[in-house]
Amino acid sequence: MLAREWVAVTDQRTGLGWLAAQLWGERVLIASAVFVGFMMWLAGLHLGWVSFAVLLLVIAGLLRTERRMAESGGRTMASAAVPVPDIQPAPPPADDLSAIAAVLGALDAPALLISGLETIKLQNRAAEAIFGAIPGGSDLAGRIRAPGILDMVRDAIASGQPRETEHAERLPSETVYVVRIAPLAEKTSEPFWLLTFRDVSQARRIDRMRSDFVANASHELRTPLASLRGFIETLQGPARNDVKAHERFLAIMHEQATRMSRLVDDLLSLSRLELRSNLTPDQTVDLVPLLGHVRDSLQPLAADLGVDIVLDVPRHPVTVPGERDELVEVLENLIENACKYGQEGKRVDVMLSGGGDAPVELSVTDYGPGIPPEHVPRITERFYRVNVEASRSKKGTGLGLAIVKHILTRHRARLVVKSEMGKGTVFTVKF
Beta bridge partners of 175: 169
User: 257: which residues sit within 8 A by CB, 6+ positions away?
Assistant: 224, 228
Tell me the DSSP string of 244-273.
Answer: HHHHHHHHHHHHHHHHHHHHHHHHHHHHHH
Listed by start position, the domains of the chain span 2-81, 98-199, 204-274, 280-430
So what's the pLDDT on residue 11?
A: 47
So what's the pLDDT on residue 86?
A: 46
So what's the pLDDT on residue 389?
A: 65
Residue closest to 330 by CA, chosen among 393, 283, 383, 287: 287
Cα–Cα distance, 256 to 230 (Å, whole number): 12
Burial of 28 per CB tally in 10 Å (0-12, 13-18, 19+): exposed
Do 76 and 69 touch, CB atoms closer than 8 A? yes
So what's the pLDDT on residue 40?
A: 62
CB atoms within 10 A of CB 279: 9
Residue closest to 326 by CA, chosen among 228, 411, 249: 411
Do 273 and 410 touch, CB atoms closer than 8 A? yes
Q: In whole angstroms, how far apart are CA 95 and each of 66, 156, 182, 401, 419?
A: 44, 22, 19, 58, 58
pLDDT < 50 positions in the chain: 1-16, 18, 74-95
Fold of 280-430: Heat Shock Protein 90 (3.30.565)
Q: Does the structural domain 98-199 have CATH classification 1.10.10.60?
A: no
Fill in the DSSP letter of residue 215. H
Instruction: Measure CA of the first residue to CA of the last residue in the chain; give whole Å.
Output: 102
Do 322 and 303 touch, CB atoms closer than 8 A? no
Beta bridge partners of 286: 319
- b/e string for 140-174 if b means 16 or more Cβ within 10 A? beeebeeeebeebbeebbeeeeebebeeeeeeeee
Residue 153 is inside which H or E element, if any? helix 147-159
Cα–Cα distance, 359 to 328 (Å, whole number): 20
CA quadruple 12, 14, 19, 24: dihedral positive or negative? negative
- b/e string for 353-369 if b means 16 or more Cβ within 10 A? ebbeeeebbbbbbbbbb
Amino acid at 319: T
Phi first, then psi: give them for residue 191, nearest 5 degrees: -70, 140
Q: In whole angstroms, how far apart are CA 36 and each of 39, 62, 78?
A: 5, 14, 19
So what's the pLDDT on residue 35?
A: 65
Fold of 204-274: Helix Hairpins (1.10.287)
**Residues constituting the chain:** 431
Tell me the DSSP string of 306-362.
Answer: T-EEEEE--SS--EEES-HHHHHHHHHHHHHHHHHHTGGG-EEEEEEEEETTEEEEE
Cα–Cα distance, 241 to 319 (Å, whole number): 60
Cα–Cα distance, 186 to 329 (Å, whole number): 60
